[in-house]
Amino acid sequence: MSTPSAHPGQPPSVTRKRCFDPVVDHHTRVLVLGSLPGEQSLALQQYYANRQNKFWALMSDVLGVDLVVLDYAARLQSLLRHGVGLWDVVAEAHRKGSLDSNIRERNDNDLCGLLLRYPNIQAIAFNGGTAGRHGLKVLGELAAAYDIIALPSSSPAHTMAYAVKAMRWRALRPVLADVPCNHLSSHEKQGIET
């Protein structure tokens, strides 16, 4: 949740913004890490709430399930059923607007602690360059224990063509192919295999 800046020298329009709790369980195989939620996401208290952000469409393509039509809680549950978790590299920071380039005075999340609590995670996917650069620094040597997948940002600020983004995001499929199928519907199983 964002709160007005109380730090001297910070313009009043710059606020301290905080990430959401992780969405992860013991079935999670891939942890997708963003940088820090944008303004619309913070306002709605939902990961990737900006309709111009293509995260939900890209994950729909990866999983073969239309997440876009689902309500938020069902989207999160579907990700978890497919072995996908969400979190952010940055726990909190000052940032004017939503651009990663405006992140200042950041405190990072305890990524290493989370990974140790969830040993089934095999891959870490960074949603965008900022998440990747900061996330790899936070992980340090622990990064070598995981498949690291650098994804083009789903943000509208990253102007790569959607088709190219979707092709690159499909790199998540091989890691998700071994997710236990006992908690997937037959439609969901078929989506991952294609």
Scored b (16 or more CB within 10 A) or e, 83-92 reads bbbbbbbbbb
- Of residues 53, 102, 120, 127, which has the active-site annotation? 53
Distance CA 176, CA 60 (A): 13
Question: Catalytic residue at 53?
Answer: yes
Starting at the edge strand found earlier in the chain, the sheet holding 90-95 runs: 3-4, 15-18, 90-95, 104-108
Contact by Cβ (8 Å): 124, 98: no
Name every residue whose Cβ is closer than 8 Å to that of residue 180 and which is 6 or more positions away in sequence.
Answer: 27
> Tokens 């190219």 sit at which residue?
164
* Listed residue (150, 188, 155, 187) closest to 169, CA to CA: 150
Residue 12's Cβ-side half-sphere holds a number of Cα atoms within 13 Å equal to: 0
What six digits make up the tokens of 48?
């990737």
For residue 93, list its beta bridge partners.
Answer: 17
The set of catalytic residues is 53
